[in-house]
Each structure stands twice: as structure tokens, then as C-alpha cells.
Amino acid sequence: MKSIYTGKTKDVYALENGNYLLKFKDDVTGENGVFDPGANTVGLTLEGAGRAGLSLTKHFFEILKEKEIPTHYIEANIEEATMTVKPATVFGRGLEVICRYKAVGSFLRRYGMYAEEGQPLDAFVEVTLKDDERQDPPISEDALDMLGILTKAEYTVLKNLTEQIGNVVKDELAKKDIELYDIKFEFGRVGEDKQIALIDEISGGNMRAYKNGNYIEPLELEKLMLEV
Ligand SMILES: Nc1ncnc2c1ncn2[C@@H]1O[C@H](COP(=O)(O)OP(=O)(O)OP(=O)(O)O)[C@@H](O)[C@H]1O
Ligand SMILES: [Mg+2]
């Protein structure tokens, strides 16, 4: 097994058969011990966070598979906190795609002159560059095209997939009376046909979820979502 990348919350390895193995760690993004899904630093370490994040990721990726939505997912081993995936090439040096249902977080920080906190948003899609040094700047469709990161046709595919997957997660949470405020995805090109597919993870660490108006921490969300 060859180490490919050491991330903030996961390590990536290449398997001999060409697939990748993602190892989920107990590190969580945030600042000064407070969780923040949009943060670019590891803010805290929580015992069991890796396995919990993987369990929820497995849950969602299996639902997406049933719905024939393309992803990198092959299988998960919860005990080992590992997930086997198809290797992907990312757009440029990596993008984050955010789907918003309520105005909170960086949306509100940027557009607070016009938006009210918690205002409903209709699966609003935003793309940011994965660029820690520049605090993951938002990027427009035109800029993505002009800079050769994504064509306009690819952008349309990405946006449609994001809305579709965001709505799947939103509906799943709603079954447990949990409200999705926003969620962050990553996409890449997968397989011989370079199909655009969801990669990375779908865990509590990638979304803001609320129950009865109260924010639910990632570990709690994973527990609520997976309990029968
Ligand atoms: N199928 C895949 N093929 C290739 N790379 C992948 C695949 N799935 C996920 N990745 C990459 O693996 C890495 C996992 O690392 P991790 O989740 O710790 O994030 P990170 O890059 O450190 O930072 P961030 O907090 O911005 O996500 C990410 O860079 C992600 O883009
Ligand atoms: Mg990540």
C-alpha cells in the first residue's frame, strides 16, 4: 500500500489493484477546539470520529448507488475506518462544491448586507477553490471556464449532481426531523470514461444540520442518523 496524500481528516493510499483506500482519522476541522465544516485547520480530535464519519459516509454512498448517481464508492470497512474507492482526478487542484438551504456560515459573512440569517435558499450551489493559502476563494462559472478548470458543460453536470445529491441528503435527514442548512461536496473524474462523480465523503464534518433549531455536532448527527 503506497501513501498518496496525508489530509487533514483522512489519509489516502494506493492499493495494488489500482483502487484507493481512504483512512478516516479522528481529527475534525475547526478552530480552537470548536468544530467548523468550512475550516482549513484541524480544530479538535474526537475518539471515534473517524469511524462515525465513515459510517454515515457509507450510508449515503449506498443510497446514491441505489439511485444510480455516480460516485467513487466501492466498499467500506468500519472497524478499520477505511473506505475503498475508485481513484479520481480532480478539477484543477481541487474544488469544493457547496449546496445551501439556509443562509448561514460564509454565505452570510459575504452577503449579510442583503441576506438575513437563516433565510431559506433553494439548493443554492457555490463552488470554491481548494486553496488553503487563499482561504478557499469562491469562483464563478465564467472564471472556472476561463481558467481552464471546468468547461461550462462540465459545470452544468456538476451543478445538477450537487443539487441532486444535496436533496438526497436533505430528504434523509428530514426523515429524522433534522434540517440540512448546508453541505460541502467534492467531485472528480472517475474511470476510463472520465465520468464526473462524487468523491471524498459525506459525513457530519461536511454539513451543518439542525434539530428543533439547535445545531447538531457531527458525532451526534452520525448517531441520530444511524440509530434504528
Ligand atoms: N476517489 C478519490 N480519488 C482521489 N482523491 C480523492 C478521492 N476521494 C477523496 N480524495 C481526496 O483525498 C483527500 C482527503 O483528505 P482530507 O479529507 O483530509 O481533506 P484535505 O484535502 O486535507 O482538506 P479539506 O479539509 O479541504 O477537505 C482530499 O484531498 C480529497 O480531495
Ligand atoms: Mg477533506
CATH of the domain at 146: 3.30.470.20
Cα of 200 vs centre of ligand 2, distance in Å, is 7
Binning pLDDT at 50, 70 and 90, where does residue 139 land? Answer: very high
Rounded to the nearest angstrom, the distance between the alpha carbon of 31 and the centre of ligand 1 is 19
- In percent, the amount of the chain with pLDDT more than 90 equals 90
Same domain, 148 and 76: no
On the question of pLDDT at 34 being above 90, the answer is: no
Minimum CA distance residue for ligand 1 atom 11: 200
Residue among 200, 201, 203, 206 whose CB has most ligand 1 atoms within 8 A, to mutate = 200
Q: How far away, in angstroms, is 41 Cα from ligand 2 center? A: 11
- Are 113 and 194 in the same domain? yes
Cβ atoms < 10 Å from Cβ of 92: 14
Task: Please check whether residues 42 and 123 belong to one and the same domain.
Answer: no
Backbone φ and ψ of 86, nearest 5°? -80, 140
Q: Are 184 and 207 in contact, with CB atoms under 8 Å apart?
A: yes
- Alpha carbon nearest to ligand 1 atom 20, residue: 7
Ligand 2 center–CA 192 separation, angstroms: 24
User: Is residue 224 a contact partner of residue 178, using CB atoms and an 8 Å limit?
Assistant: yes
Ligand 1, atom 15, residue with closest C-alpha = 7
Residue 68 and residue 120 in one domain:
no
- Residues having CB closer than 6 A to ligand 1 are 5, 7-10, 12, 20, 29, 72, 85-88, 90, 94, 130, 186, 188, 199-200
The dihedral over CA atoms of 82, 85, 89, 91, expressed in degrees to the nearest 10, equals -80
Among protein residues, the one whose CA lies closest to atom 6 of ligand 1:
200
Looking at the structure, tell me whether residues 132 and 162 fall in a common domain. Answer: yes
Residues 137 and 192 in one domain: yes
pTM above 0.85, yes or no: yes
Q: Which three cell numbers stand for residue 64?
A: 446514491
Residue after which a domain boundary falls, among 88, 116, 144:
88
- Write the pLDDT tens digit of every residue in 207-216: 999 999 999 9
Query: How far, in Å, is the centroid of ligand 2 from the Cα of 114?
Result: 30
* pLDDT band, residue 37 (cuts 50/70/90): confident
Same-domain check for residues 115 and 183: yes
pLDDT of residue 147: 98
pLDDT value of position 23: 98
> Hey, CA dihedral for 140, 146, 151, 153, is it positive or negative?
positive
**Same-domain pairing of 104 and 78:** no
Look over the chain and give the mean of its residue pLDDT values, rounded to a whole number. Answer: 96
Q: Which of 78 and 32 is assigned the larger pLDDT?
A: 78
- Residue 17 sits in a domain whose CATH number is 3.30.200.20
Number of domains in the chain: 2
Segment 163-210, tens digit of pLDDT: 999 999 999 999 999 999 999 999 999 999 999 999 999 999 999 999
Domain end residue (candidates: 34, 66, 88): 88
- Please state the atom number of ligand 1 nearest to the C-alpha of residue 27: 18
Higher pLDDT, 55 or 28: 55
3-state per-residue secondary structure call for 145-188? HHCCCCCHHHHHHHHHHHHHHHHHHHHHHHCCCCEEEEEEEEEE
Residue whose entry in the numeric block shows the C-alpha cell 452577503: 111
For the segment 72-111, what is each residue's pLDDT rounded down to a tens digit? 999 999 999 999 999 999 999 999 999 999 999 999 999 9
Q: Cα of 50 to ligand 1 centre, how many Å?
A: 14
Expressed as residue numbers, the domain containing 186 is 89-226
Q: What is the pLDDT of residue 203?
A: 96
CB count within 10 Å of CB 174 equals 11
What are the residue ranges of helices labelled H in the chain?
49-66, 105-111, 141-146, 152-174, 218-226
Under 8 Å between Cβ of 43 and 29: yes
